[in-house]
Structure 1
């Protein structure tokens, strides 16, 4: 059967002058149609796929007009690595165009040996494009090599790129976009938030809960450029790295603490990540914007926003952080925030009853714990009763913790609900006692968060909610404490955590 088509699979982010000459020579004898199978068509804004499909399609159509080639452009969505990639592409073409491409009517133009062999197994003849040995040395620059020159600021890319690409890139400002995506953000060299944190236990605790946290947010993650701000030792990004749907995404971790940042770098060096576009940066998010405007598809934050509230200027710092997230999010992008939170009605008074028989009850809290070795601090606090530990927490806490003992009952105190939960959710962190005493978990309740996000311009997804960690209630709170209203009626344990799914509107 006479050749009718040239199937040209590839990402096609950039078209070259060489491709124009080569394809013209390939189709001229038979007057064939070039079928451009644009792979990873559902990915953009990443190092692997910096140019969105609709811009790639525009450049191909412009290329076809300028070269006089008859073309069909077909999007091929990304799939997990498979030996059936050629079959998937052929079926995508059939669905989109109604054409059945066979070895009898089609030549496959492909310079990637691993892909070419898949079509050869199906009986197709391969035109090797830039890999054609008859072209001699040096071989023509491949499109990705030209795109790399562009990203590096080497203006010789224009000598190799086809005018169709140059035109589309100029009209839609894609040169700046490619360079932004391909190049690293400027990274500062600040230290950790607190000098008293035991990072070993911190890393272990976060790693233990990483699978649960990832399962909580994974369905909200939008592929593309995915940033975990305050990534710790990279446990969440390790799980994201295993998601087939995210294999074309850039996975970027931002961490301030030197110990944690170095652990991330170590993991990457040891091969913990299969995605080559996993990167880590050391930066203080309180210092301002980390990424350029409208450049991030998904931002993840876990157990971070309460630290910004605590170590910064509370509302002002958190408002600035939320604005920075909004500014660097692409229209339609998402910020997923998982953290502790204050209970609804955090300022209402409650009566908190605490166990006095589970440890020592000194007449007054101890001062000067910061002068002791960390192990001695942990041992001393762990030896206090739950009630005495409240007095010690109030002594060491950087924020006001108002409470009044109930006359005639040393086990009971009256205090605001938010303050009570602030203590109860931290009382067992003896290994990092002085570090935890620098933070406030219950500064904001759900209504505060909704107002803050709306003020920045975010739309709040219906998936946003507060919830209670029942394991903490069952194992840490209920055995040693109870809550009642001011009039003595029992009060159920309130929410302890929040999940916020905030989207930047498409029309912004």
Structure 2
């Protein structure tokens, strides 16, 4: 008779089947447990203690891990009371893939509880063959849970997917402890929102190929410039930075004496960046006590109540909404949501990349072919390579060859044709040319950057969208060109001209929008 039952898993949802199975396994013939006597959960009951190793405990609001650990723990404790099981709950943080994960889990249990679980006193309850095999190699006996029964009952994750699909049968399969916690904390709505999110991936980011470390560093380096550009337009009160990254701009807002009575709120969807924001707050980076961070996807529904926000800031965000959503349809929903949550007289300040005026006109683009290698054809297998190999390969291409590779990896339509008699010159639209030129040097995040479109909107499109929703466009709004990029990245390797060969100046690359909700709305 085992003293302990180690039950590893994510445990987002507990089932009625698990309740019966664990009670029987823990009792091993103990009639008091079989009868459901609550006293059987006591130290002296003779039943085994269930050690719940809750994996991915540091992940939440992702498609793979929608429910935060503390809510999972609450449901487990409630489950234990209702079933009469004596339980110990241990959080297991996510790790890189390793065939020693079973050992990591056992060591974490020992460090957290002092329990040294051994094959002599512990049975591992696990229905996942790959995980069970890790414990078998260590000498543990395995109880297969759902895998022990024919026909196999519905597994917890499949029950959760039924919930996400609005299949009412999920309640019949789910243990009342989980149903109770889900109802009290509205976790069923959370699960539906996260699992069905069309934008965010399994791990809580927009793309699995992005290096969030370098991404956060770049945002931090540019934070002062961004804050300087918008500070004069910020209205005190409730100030929200949507897509706040690692919170660098809010750090600068926090230092402003004039905003010391304001609420500073960061909204971030990427798990890695949100966790850095929370870490900064815990370390005392912010002096204002009214600094808050929310992990939300703004396309999943309203984040703030109507007419409740004085200032909204967005930096380098709207092109991602366009790219990872449904382009104009998603952007319109986003702008409408911002308008709705803005107080009359409040402001939305948006800074982002921008398409050139007349982005659909045809131009000629001459590209240097002597600054790197020129393969006979672009590769089609970059997605299967490690990031370092992708960066090295793309970084070694000539500018002309890099365009051919961009056309393969770019997620959006990208039409061009070589000009007869000029191997280094092609014809394409001005917008397509600038989409390539403004991304060609992002080799470290190549497969991420080629999922985004920078030039989907030009300034005229922005003005039309904002006024259509109801915003008034402040005179401080307008476009600009990053001359450093022109001087250092574009002009040395590229040139623009008309189809007739007349030289063209480099177009605008960025937009700043200061949009106000009219006072009388």
Q: TM-score scaled to structure 2, two decimals? A: 0.61
Q: CA offsets, 1:53-88, max 9 Å, x none?
A: xxxxxxxxxxxxxxxxxxxxxxxxxxxxxxxxxxxx
1:485 is displaced (CA, Å) by 1.2
Paired residues, what number?
323
Aligned positions of 1:433-448 closer than 5 A? 433-448=446-461
Q: CA offsets, 1:306-339, max 9 Å, x none?
A: 0000000001000000000000000000000000
2:257 corresponds in structure 1 to 244
Q: CA offsets, 1:24-60, max 9 Å, x none?
A: xxxxxxxxxxxxxxxxxxxxxxxxxxxxxxxxxxxxx
Counterpart-to-counterpart distance in 1, 2:423 and 2:223: 39
Q: TM-score scaled to structure 1, two decimals? A: 0.63
The answer on 1:411 being equivalent to 2:424 is: yes
1:496 corresponds in structure 2 to 509
1:288 is displaced (CA, Å) by 1.7
1:41 corresponds in structure 2 to none
1:282 corresponds in structure 2 to 295
Aligned positions of 1:32-431 closer than 5 A? 191-431=204-444
SS in 1 for 2:378: coil
Runs of at least 4 residues off by over 4 Å: 186-190
Q: CA offsets, 1:356-406, max 9 Å, x none?
A: 000010011100111000000000000000010000001000001111111
For structure 2, which runs of at least 5 residues remain unmatched after alignment?
A: 1-188, 195-199
For structure 1, which runs of at least 5 residues remain unmatched after alignment?
A: 1-185
1:448 is displaced (CA, Å) by 0.2
Larger radius of gyration: 1
2:82 corresponds in structure 1 to none
Counterpart-to-counterpart distance in 1, 2:289 and 2:432: 45
SS in 2 for 1:410: strand
Counterpart-to-counterpart distance in 1, 2:419 and 2:344: 53
SS in 2 for 1:332: strand
1:487 is displaced (CA, Å) by 1.3
Counterpart-to-counterpart distance in 2, 1:470 and 1:213: 16
1:466 is displaced (CA, Å) by 0.3
SS in 1 for 2:460: helix
Counterpart-to-counterpart distance in 1, 2:424 and 2:389: 26
1:409 is displaced (CA, Å) by 1.1
